[in-house]
Structure 1
């Protein structure tokens, strides 16, 4: 009854199923692992989030140069730097607590001569940014990696007026100010009057963003493919088995003649010649 399983067609079907199921399980497990890695990194980043006076793990703020370059481990830690405030810019189109405004970005000329971008706070639309303090200052803030075109800093492509920048990065500032610029920035914990402190953002690849939940969605899709492959195999198997059973019982329908086939023509009937047509006898 199941001899059809040994046909070349079913050999191909079975081999495909045996290869497809482990592949789908592997891909689903891999996507689930990617999601779990993002969850773990997010939890670690939250655990490293410093308080007002501490860096990761409760340690005191560290000098800026000790935390560079910015990594997943150092992002969000509190860094200290000394110098004099210089050029100031607005970074428009930044949301905070559901409102749109601008970051007030001031460059700190460190003792080494290199400029450190410092976000002193968030300014609501229509507000006037306060001037930075004069003289030597020491700032403490959460360390952040430079933005790129894949983050919020996408406003640079729109052509901003003078005194505004679209991204907080050395690439966007190097042509606006003299000297070198750190490829990182800090956001102050205590903002001056008129500004709202900007919370430190999670390091790229550590937050539960859309990509993390895409991994979770792909996990469900791959395991759904396993069920679909099994369903289709069982459906084909049942149909073939029913056809084989009907054939064994003699219940298989006979093939109907093809449409348009020529029917055999009947031989014309031979008729006896009529008496009138017969020749008369002498």
Structure 2
């Protein structure tokens, strides 16, 4: 019934189908390997971050020797110790920050260190609305005198969760993005590019966990690789299905023709002997 598969036409179709299936399987396996690489990189980044956070505190000058120095790669989350004096008069609130599923805000106070520059310190988090808390005067004042603060070093933020792109879009005394670029017009002295979250804030402030380093999570590209993997294997299955369908259709047509249910295929007509001419 399927002897026609040995014909030159069907052998050519079979070869092309096998090549197509092999190509789709190769591309699907390659996309899957790319997804696995991204997963391994994510796991490695999480492991490195955890190791960084457990290292003993280092002096601020050990990672940021000057205010213009950039946070070194791999030092996000590292425990840093800084000694200076809080500038409580220029304390800022960072609204629309979530902690443990609750809405609230950060309390950020510049810490003036030796040399005159300031290190932005998030002293902690409070629940509620920043503007209402500011009007009520319920924000804890910063400690006076010289203090030593230990906290997790953070990269400058580049986006504002609240949707504000500049401090001018927020009420006075509030900040949308924690970075030297956003603080340069608010503070009359140099500001470090990095900032820290205090490890042991005073009550009622709650400690802010360090943020994950940028590009350390499973991004959209990783899931695109996984999606492409599925697509290529679906293509391979589609090729097999279509070859099987066409072969079965032709087998059924030939069986019907053999039973006289349908006319013989054109190829059979061409091979048949010519009929004798009809006498005039």
Tell me the number of residue pairs that the alignment of Structure 1 and Structure 2 aligns: 242
How many Å separate the matches in 1 of 2:28 and 2:196? Answer: 44
Unaligned runs of 5+ in 2: 65-69, 266-280
How many Å separate the matches in 2 of 1:98 and 1:248? Answer: 68
Q: Which residue of 1 aligns with 2:61?
A: 65
Q: Which residue of 1 aligns with 2:187?
A: 177
How many Å separate the matches in 1 of 2:262 and 2:112? Answer: 92
Q: Which residue of 2 aligns with 1:267?
A: none
Find the partner of 1:36 among 34, 40, 43. 40
Find the partner of 1:254 among 244, 251, 263. 263
Residues 8-87 of structure 1 correspond to what in structure 2 (within 5 A)? 13-50=17-54, 56=55, 59=56, 61-68=57-64, 69-71=70-72, 73-86=74-87, 87=90
**Normalising to structure 2: TM-score of the pair?**
0.75
Q: Work out whether residues 24 and 236 of structure 2, in 8 Å CA contact, stay in contact via their aligned partners in 1.
A: no
Q: Work out whether residues 153 and 168 of structure 1, in 8 Å CA contact, stay in contact via their aligned partners in 2.
A: no
Q: Work out whether residues 53 and 152 of structure 2, in 8 Å CA contact, stay in contact via their aligned partners in 1.
A: no
Q: Work out whether residues 118 and 192 of structure 2, in 8 Å CA contact, stay in contact via their aligned partners in 1.
A: yes
Query: Which stretch has the larger CA shift, 224-233 or 246-255?
Result: 246-255
How many Å separate the matches in 2 of 1:65 and 1:153? Answer: 32
Unaligned runs of 5+ in 1: 51-55, 257-282
Q: For each residue in 1:172-215, what CA deviation from the matched residue of structure 2 results, as whole angstroms up to 9, or x when unmatched? A: 111111232111101111212331221222222334x6x27x72
Q: Work out whether residues 35 and 226 of structure 2, in 8 Å CA contact, stay in contact via their aligned partners in 1.
A: no
Moved over 6 A (4+): none
**What RMSD, in angstroms, separates the aligned Cα atoms of the two structures?**
2.8
Are the structure 2 counterparts of residues 238 and 12 from structure 1 closer, same or farther at C-alpha, using a change threshold of 3 Å? Answer: closer
Q: Which residue of 2 aligns with 1:280?
A: none
Are the structure 2 counterparts of residues 76 and 179 from structure 1 closer, same or farther at C-alpha, using a change threshold of 3 Å? Answer: same
How many Å separate the matches in 2 of 1:193 and 1:243? Answer: 78
Find the partner of 1:121 among 106, 115, 124. 124
**Normalising to structure 1: TM-score of the pair?**
0.74
How many Å separate the matches in 1 of 2:213 and 2:252? Answer: 65
Residues 82-161 of structure 1 correspond to what in structure 2 (within 5 A)? 82-86=83-87, 87-125=90-128, 126-127=132-133, 128-149=138-159, 152=161, 154-156=163-165, 159-161=169-171
How many Å separate the matches in 2 of 1:106 and 1:219? Answer: 43
Indicate the structure with greater helix content.
Answer: 2
1:246 Cα deviation after fit: 4.4
Q: For each residue in 1:51-89, what CA deviation from the matched residue of structure 2 results, as whole angstroms up to 9, or x when unmatched? A: xxxxx2xx3x11112224334521111111222222210
Larger radius of gyration: 1
- The answer to whether structure 1 residue 5 and structure 2 residue 6 are counterparts is no
Are the structure 2 counterparts of residues 198 and 254 from structure 1 closer, same or farther at C-alpha, using a change threshold of 3 Å? Answer: same
